[in-house]
Each structure stands twice: as structure tokens, then as C-alpha cells.
Chains A and B, each alone.
Chain A
């Protein structure tokens, strides 16, 4: 039982990490599509610069969550794979085209047409992936895989807004130019308001049309999560307006963690409401223990490597060998 609790926790953390880090990359694509004004090209360059070295590593959190689900909760995974194949296939297409288009766009410098085309693909795919991942989560929460329900679709839109918000907040710290920073600070404020507006829709739909979701969720956990998320959202705006960008970055990460954690923890002990509890779906204890040990070993190698990666690329001033050239 302890093993199951541990793996549920690890899975939750990995999912939140993917939502924050991968979400920032998806949101970057959205802002790439929406780049406007005299600094449109500079905005795009900043996005490329911020995403370039880290997106492939960020993306692996998704793979980790997938592998954890099918290794530790195989029947639930198989159930979801059949029930939600459509939104997952669409999300997959988005993920694939986003990654490929990003690289193609960066290297197709010799043909303007191709570069522009892949740039558009990059932007649209960056919207498709979080939309359908959000939709899949919404559909999962209904317990009946109703992925075309207004509720699931509204969760998809909400996910896109959160990604855009995370990206706008995150990217500010990767930019040297003041005017450009302000561009993204403005976007961060707008996106936060967008998150609030688009967050009300699924919440209202839950209460009015989805009694089974209300039944499945723990009231207290959800209320705490919503309060934390709203407060964190306010902190994002305050942080951005006061140009305390690191503070805003932490706040937006907490907001995302509260949203996902609220849903995931709120429907415990169910993994899929009305279908599988974590315990019912869990594979054998030796398997889960082995997976946790493998995770421990993996993290022992991974964490120092990740720290190195982010130190080299996310602190522009200190590490660069050729500083000042």
C-alpha cells in the first residue's frame, strides 16, 4: 500500500513538472503564433532561444508519466487507451508536429516560404497538443470518457490558457532586452486574466451539468486547490507588475500545481472516477517497488544533469565562457 501511495505521489509530481515545463514550451508556441508589433521577430527569437535547449528534456516528463501509468496501473491505462484514443491521438499529432516543426523552422533558414510554413505549423500544433491533453483530462474526470462534452472541451481551452500564461511568465527571465521583457510581462497579465475567465467555464459546467464529477471530487481538497490557484494567479500579476520575475515564475508554477494537484488529489482514491481506484488498477507490489527504485536511480543521475542544463542556459550572465564578446 505504501508503494502505491508513493508511486501515486511520484506520478503526480511528474505530471505537474510536465504541465509547468512542457506547458511553458507549448505556450511559447502559442505566443510565436501571436507575435505582433514592431518586435514580432524579436519575440519569436526570444521564444526560440528559451525553448531550444530544454524542450526535448521537458518533453520526457510526459513519457515518464505514460510509462509510469502502464507499468504501475496497466488496466487503467488500457481502459484509457481505448476510451480516449481520439483526443490522445490528436494530442499526439500536436506533440509530434510541434517538435518537428520547431526544428524544421530553425534549420530551414534557406527557404523563407518553408520557414514561414513550419512556423505556422509550430504555433498551431502548440495549441492542439495542450488543448487535447486538457480535453483528455476533462474527459477522464467525467468517468465516461465524454471527450466531446462541453465540459471536456472547456478544460482543453483552459489548459491552453494556462500554458500561454506559464510561457509568458517564464520567458521574461530568459530575455535581456527591456522592451521585449515588457512585451511578455503584458502578455503574462492578459493571460492570467484569460486563465481566470476560461477557468470559470469548466467550473460552472461542473456544477450545472456534471453531478458525477461533483460526486467524485473531495470538496475540501478542491476548495483548497482553487483558493491556492486564485491566490497564486494574483501573485503572478503582482509579481509581473513589480518586475519581480522570479517570484512570478514561482507563483505560476504553484498555480499550475494547485490546478492539477486539486484534480488529481481531489478524485483520489479514484484514478478514473467510477471505474478504477488506484488500488484496483495497481500492478503487483514487486513491480511498483522495482519501478520506484528505478526512479530513484534515474533521478540520482538526472537531477545533477538537469541542474547543469538549466544553469548553463537559464542563467545567461554567469556561465557563458565568452561573456562580453
Chain B
């Protein structure tokens, strides 16, 4: 196996795996916090059961997220040591801050998960708040590093040596606002739909308990707020890319030539050389979307040197997959909101739509991340260090890729199996505490 391909495959697999758990680690604490808060407010037992069940899922998911995150913090150095040599002293700060944010998460998750019978109900509920806050913050710090990789800044290179490092400038590279907001919101979209989907599935299988409905409601509220915001933000991100990351944008939109009145290409079939054919072209739409002017000029791949072009098919198809699944998620949310508005009880059609949503949300999450990362290639830090030059000189990369992939398969399978058990065990082994006192509910 080619060294660069093997290293990228291992890093990519690890990130694709971790991003799911990272997103849930951001989103689930909010859902649990809302559920337990509703229990304290209404003393409706269903909310208590929801919080207990989700907390168990959170324990499993958080642990797998923590270990898969550890893999990444090792792998980035083990696979791309030259990147760390070059960039460690420039963009290390957000990594360090992320460490602390994650520390807070880990501490309070310990308190929350093991504190049901050790803290007063109110204190227990509040112990989730630091997780709700530090989850998105730690995700944001990591995204700051990624935004630096897209547009490196905060240093000068003199005679091949990095000097004049300004850590705070490096920390806030130009794409940081769009990337951090789009990436963080993606976590809530994914978690909301994933959790709602699980509830909808349980409902479809005949488990029509107040607990399942309460869980579905909370998750869908979060999803229905997050997804329209994400659509608007996505539009902002795309226009940012058009202005500042033309190579990525041209690959996303398969725009070969710089032109006025550029068409929007949708879908298509990848060719052997990594391009796209048979895409549906909507005349002038791209110019209209980018600049609100059907005749605006859009930069195409012809302005990008051949050896600096991202893989077109991978970037474009990922982009379309993200936009497509995101739009479908918006429709699901709309369907649910109108149902609630009209005070219609949940029916099979809507439940089925929500039950499919986790798959769509997974596609949107992964594909969105693919767009950023494929679109950055062939650079690991855009314009200054190529991925191929950053890769390790050590051996056995193929074997390492294979063995780590195997480990992910085992972890994912086990995680899935356990979550199914946790989901099925609702209402069985937990007793709600009586107001004012706590009962050891183990």
C-alpha cells in the first residue's frame, strides 16, 4: 500500500469514526440536560426515564469517544510527524485549550453518571451543565486547528524557517467563524435526529410509551431548531469558500473554467481520472447563488495549478450528499413541526420519516467533513505543507491501517449492541426519586 494513501486512510477512518462520537458528545448532554430539567420542573416520570436511559447511552458513547479521540491525538503525530514538526509550534494552542475543555467534560461526566445517588436532584441536574457547555467548546477548539489547516496564518517563513509566531492570530485563521459555527451546529443536527430516530423506531415497533414520546419530542425540538439554522449557515460557508478557498469551491461545484453566468452542477458520475461527467447543469445558478447576480464571475479550476487541485469527484459528490441529505432533514423537521402545530398525533408516515433521519444525518455529518478535508488536498496545511511531505517515514503503515480498522469494527459493533440493550431496557430498572429525597437508583 502506498504510504501516503495508507496514512490518509488510517487518519480518515479514525476521524470518520470519531466524528460520530464527538458529535454525540456535544449534543447528547444538552438533550439529557433538557430531559432532567423537565423532570425536575414537571415531575413527569417519563422525563426522568428519558434522562436515565439517555445518560446510559451517553456513558457508552462518551467512553468510546474519549478513546477514539485519544487514538487521534497519537495518530496525528505517528502518521504525520512532519506536520507536527512544522505546525505544532504554531497551532498548538487550541489543542492545549481543548485538552482542558475535555478535562472539564470528563470530570463532570463522571459526576453526572455516577452521582445520581450522591448529589441532590438539583445539584445532579446542574452537574450536567458544564458538560453541555464544554462539549461544544472543545469541539470548537479542534475545529480552530482545522480552520488553520485550511488557511494557515500567524507566522512568517524566512529561509524555510518558521518565525514570528503569533499563537492567537494562528488560532483564529480566517475561516474560523464559518467552520466553527457550521461544525458545532452539525453536532446538534446529528444528535437531535439520531436520538429522535431511535425513539421513532421504538414507537414504530409498538413501544408507544409516554417515555418514548417524551424523548422524541425533546430530540425533535433540538433538531428542528438546529437544521434550518444549519441550512442558512451552509449557504454562508459556501459563499465564504467561493471568496477565499477557490480551489475547494471549484472542486465542490465541478467548475472547470472560470466564467460568468456559471452553471450549478448537481450529481454526476465519477470518471476514472477523478473528474465528474453527466452532472445535471442548472444554467447561471451558481453565479446567482454565489453573488446574487446571474452573470457574476466564478473562479474555476483552470486558475488552480494542476498539482494543487483537490480530488474533484470526491469533493463534489460529498458536497452534494451533504446538501441533499441536509435538505431532506429540513423536510422531516418541517413535517414534524406542522404536525405539532396542527396538534396531530404522531402517525406512521411521520414516524417512518423520523426513523430514517439518523441515516441522513450521518451522511450529512460525514459528507460535510469530507468536503472540507478532500477540498483541502493535496495540502495538509494549505499552501505551505503537502500531505505527501508530512507523512511518516516509519514502516508497516498498511498493517497499522488494517489493525486499527479492525479495532474500529469491534468497537462499533459492541457499541451498537450495547446501545440496543440500553434502549430496550427503558422503564425496567430505574425508579424515579421522590421529591426532596433521593433513592439509590442503580
Interface residues of B in 60-91 (CB under 8 A from A): 60, 62-64, 66-71, 73-75, 77-78, 81-82, 84-90
Query: CB-CB < 8 A to B110: which residues of A?
Result: 52-54, 56-57, 309, 313
Task: Kindly state the separation between the CA atoms of A50 and B111 in the bound complex, as whole angstroms.
Answer: 13
Contact of B96 among A75, A295, A320 (CB under 8 A): A295
A308–B421 Cα gap in the complex (Å)? 32
Question: Is B106 interfacial (CB-CB < 8 Å)?
Answer: yes
Query: Are A100 and B67 also in contact (CB < 8 A) when A82-B394, A298-B103, A322-B437 are?
Result: yes
New A-B pairs, 10, CB < 8 Å, besides A88-B74, A89-B78: A56-B62, A74-B84, A99-B70, A108-B421, A284-B165, A286-B166, A302-B103, A312-B118, A313-B110, A322-B440
Beyond A60-B106, A66-B77, A78-B84, whether A312 also contacts B115 by CB under 8 A is yes
What band does the interface of chain A fall in when counting residues whose beta carbon is under 8 Å from B? 35 or more
Identify the 9 closest CB pairs spanning chains A and B, nearest first: A71-B92, A283-B89, A298-B100, A74-B88, A78-B85, A78-B81, A290-B167, A53-B110, A103-B63
Do A286 and B60 touch across chains, with their CB atoms under 8 A apart? no
Tell yes or no: B168 within 8 A of A by CB. yes
Contact of B93 among A93, A118, A287 (CB under 8 A): A287
Which residues in B have their C-beta under 8 angstroms from that of A77? 77, 81, 84-85, 88
A290 touches B77 (CB 8 A): no
Check B78 against A81 for contact (C-beta < 8 Å).
Answer: yes
| Contact of B113 with A53 in the complex, beta carbons under 8 Å | yes
Task: Report B's interface with A, CB cutoff 8 A.
Answer: 56, 59-60, 62-64, 66-71, 73-75, 77-78, 81-82, 84-90, 92-93, 95-100, 102-104, 106-111, 113-115, 117-120, 130, 162-163, 165-168, 392-394, 396, 400, 403, 407, 411, 414, 417-418, 421-422, 437-440
Residues of B within 8 A of A74 (CB): 84-89, 92
Q: A56-B110, A321-B120, A325-B439 are in contact. Are A92 and B74 (CB under 8 A)?
A: yes
Q: Decide if B104 touches A301 in the complex (CB within 8 Å).
A: yes
Chain A 46-61, CB-CB to B under 8 Å as 1, else 0, gives 0000001110110110
Which secondary structure dominates where chain B touches chain A? Answer: helix
Taking the closest CB of chain B, its distance from the CB of A82, in whole angstroms, is 5
Which of A81, A114, A306, A312 has the most chain B CB within a 10 Å cutoff?
A81
Judge whether B96 and A71 touch: CB under 8 Å: yes
Residues of B within 8 A of A78 (CB): 77, 81-82, 84-85, 88
The dominant DSSP class at the A interface is helix
Q: What are 12 A-B contacts with C-beta separation under 8 Å?
A: A63-B73, A64-B103, A68-B96, A70-B77, A74-B87, A77-B84, A81-B392, A82-B392, A114-B417, A284-B163, A297-B100, A305-B107
Asked if A169 is at the interface of the complex by the 8 Å CB criterion, the answer is no
Contact A294 B414 (CB under 8 A): no
Residues of chain B lying within 8 A (CB to CB) of residue A325: 439-440
Chain A residues proximal to chain B, CB less than 8 Å: 52-54, 56-57, 59-60, 62-64, 66-68, 70-72, 74-75, 77-79, 81-83, 85-86, 88-89, 92-93, 95-97, 99-100, 102-104, 107-108, 110, 114, 118, 283-284, 286-287, 290-291, 294-295, 297-299, 301-302, 305-306, 308-309, 312-313, 319-322, 325
Q: Are A96 and B84 in contact (CB under 8 A)?
A: no
Instruction: State in angstroms the CA–CA spacing of A42 and B411 once bound together.
Output: 27
Pick from B67, B162, B393, B400: contact of A89, CB under 8 Å: B400
**Which chain B positions have C-beta within 8 A of A287?**
89-90, 92-93, 165, 167
Best-surrounded residue of B114, B167, B393 (most CB of chain A within 10 A): B167
Residues of A within 8 A of B437 (CB): 322
A286 touches B167 (CB 8 A): yes
CB of A72 within 8 A of CB of B71, answer no
With a CB–CB cut-off of 8 A, which chain A residues contact B165? 283-284, 286-287
